[in-house]
A = this chain, B = another copy of it.
Amino acid sequence: MSLNDQKPFHASNVQTLTVLVQREIERRILTGALPAGKRLSESALAVDMGVSRGPVREAMRGLQQAGLVEIVANKGVIVRKIGYDEAVDLYDLRGSLFGFICETLARRRTDEQCETLKDKLTGMRAALRADDKETYFRINLEFHAAIVEFCGNQRARAVYEGIAKEMHLFRRRGLSRIENMEASMEEHESIAEAIIAGRAETARRAGIKHLRNGRDRFLATLDHEDFAGNSEREKAAAE
C-alpha cells in the first residue's frame, strides 16, 4: 500500500504528511508488522516512507498520546508492550465504557437507529443459522461500531476506539474470532432489546456483561502462557 492511496479528493480531505504517516505507522503497529517492544528509528521510517524526519517525529508524538508507543528522550521510540495486569485493566475499562455507551444510547436512541440495530441482529442470526462465521464476525463488528457511533457522545466514542486500538497490542489477530456464537448472539439480543426499550441501566449491564464474557474467554486462553509470571499484582498478593 502506498501513502498515496487516499479517498477521492475533496477540499476537506487535504491531508498533511504527518497525518498520513501517523496512519501508516499505526496500521503497521496494529497489524503486527511493527511488533510490541520494537524500537523504531525515525530516520529509517522516514527513508522507508520517502518523507523527511519532521512528519515522522510529529506522528510519533500523536501515537504517544494514543498510547501506542513510548518515547524516551534521546533514546527513541518503542512500540508499547502491555503486561498481563495492564491487559486486564484495559479490558475492564473498555467494558465500563461500553456499558456507559449502551446506557447513553438507550436514553437517546431514535427509531431509525433501532431499525439499524435490528437489521444487524437479523443478519447475525442468519449467519449463525448458516454457520457462516466470517459473515457473523463482520456484522458483529458492525453492530458494535453502530452502537458506539449512535450513542452520540463523541468523546466517549474517541476514548473507546482508542482503547480498542491499544488492545491490539496484545491481542493477536485471528484470536478475535467468536468462539461461542450462540452465547454471543444472545448477549447481543439482550443489549439491543434493552436499548430499544429505553432501559438504560439494563442496557449498561448487558453491555458490560458482553465484554466481560469476551474478556474471560480471552484471558483463559493465555493465562500462564503468554503473560506467565507477568502479573505484578499476583506476585504482590502472594507475599
Contacts and interface: CB of A to CB of B under 8 A. Distances in A.
Nearest to A99: B96
Interface in A71-95: 73-74, 86, 89-90, 92-93
A100 B104 contact: no
A153 interface: yes
Contacts of A97: 96-97
A153 B166 CA distance: 15
A190 interface: no
A74 B18 CA distance: 12
Interface of A: 14-16, 18-19, 54, 57-59, 61-62, 64-67, 73-74, 86, 89-90, 92-93, 96-97, 99-100, 103-104, 152-156, 158-159, 163, 166
Contacts of A74: 14
Q: Main SS of chain A's interface residues?
A: helix
Contacts of A163: 155, 159
Contacts of A16: 73
A216 to B, nearest CB: 16
26 contacts: A16-B73, A18-B61, A19-B73, A58-B58, A58-B61, A61-B61, A62-B62, A62-B64, A62-B65, A65-B65, A65-B66, A67-B158, A86-B154, A86-B155, A89-B152, A89-B153, A89-B154, A89-B155, A92-B100, A92-B104, A92-B153, A93-B156, A96-B99, A97-B97, A155-B166, A159-B163
